[in-house]
Amino acid sequence: MDGSAKTPVMRRTCPWCASARVIAFGEEGLVRALARHLETCTGEEAGDDE
């Protein structure tokens, strides 16, 4: 890997807590990072919509 083709940095805010921001290189890494966050996310800002 020569580093000439840089993967863009992607950012995503957690849809549950709306406070955690996940940053990763590329879409695949972003999905993995967001999934990792969701394993421990309490969804504090989610409210009670049941």
Dump pLDDT digits (tens) for 1-50.
445 556 678 999 998 999 999 999 999 999 999 999 999 998 875 454 44
Give the predicted TM-score (pTM) of the model.
Answer: 0.63
> What per-residue confidence (pLDDT) applies to 3?
53
> What per-residue confidence (pLDDT) applies to 4?
52
Chain-centre distance for alpha carbon 29: 9
Quickly list DSSP for 1-50.
--S-SPPPEEEEE-TTTS--EEEEEHHHHHHHHHHHHHHH---TTS----
> What per-residue confidence (pLDDT) applies to 8?
76
How far is 50 from 47, CA to CA, in rounded Å?
Answer: 9
> What per-residue confidence (pLDDT) applies to 50?
42
> What per-residue confidence (pLDDT) applies to 43?
84
- How many CA atoms lie within 13 Å of 7's alpha carbon, on the beta-carbon side? 11
Tokens 């996310």 found at: 41
